[in-house]
Structure 1
């Protein structure tokens, strides 16, 4: 009986040492893959770096580890995207308030003032601005407030005042 116990102990010891050697080799492979990923990032190859990181995750924890990491990354991306959209909207609202307070109230326009009817004085007065529709209202507000651009009421485009004639002649529908 003593021989069988010794054989079991030796087998367990042998199994334990082979598992440690495999684990150590696995750690070396993971370390090498992550080092390669860092090098690829510095070389400007992010797709190849991502492949190396995924291979390292798969080596360490299998496909399940890859899935969990990608799921966490997707959730973080969505959260940050929502936070950025909220911040952009708040910044646009503050800018609108600042512009509204900075612009003097015009009671009556002079009779000789002939502005083109296709130029919006109020940024995105009719909600037709392409930039505003795509969530970039701050760009519209900045361009109109400094007087360098206008919103075309025909097409909703933000147009430089210097390019007004070309816009109407070649671009506007």
Structure 2
């Protein structure tokens, strides 16, 4: 079963706040993306999400199952020549079923098609999340060596241990070239 992926609607906010907080801050059997052991407190509130959605350089894509239940989201923040990926959450009840890979693939293709000047995708991952760092490396993202402090001022939770954010980057130029070659081979 694949996701129905679309842009966020105002009527999605309550469901998205719940999804994001469950994915980042709760632990369940299937969950492997939780930050519960490292950060306490909500990851996002409704007012924060509303403010993000009002930013002209921010888009949020959501993934739904056939019953219109939102089970995934991914945020795209447009900067000069890169897009930062964040607010990437998959409901722990459906993790390990390929929905994260599907949504990330969709987002990368969406960016390639809608933002042709964007060269790089950037994301920031907690340094203690070695399994996530490895997952994104398998997806073509490379650790840049840049680190930053956890953004306490952003009100995205309080660290329980010393943590930093690791920057990861993926070049879209290779992706665009291979996409162009694929299109040419079909002509």
Same structural fold, with TM-score higher than 0.5 when normalized by the shorter chain: no
Q: Relative contact order (alpha carbons < 8 A, sep ≥ 6): 1 or 2 greater?
A: 2
Structure in which a larger fraction of residues adopt helix: 1
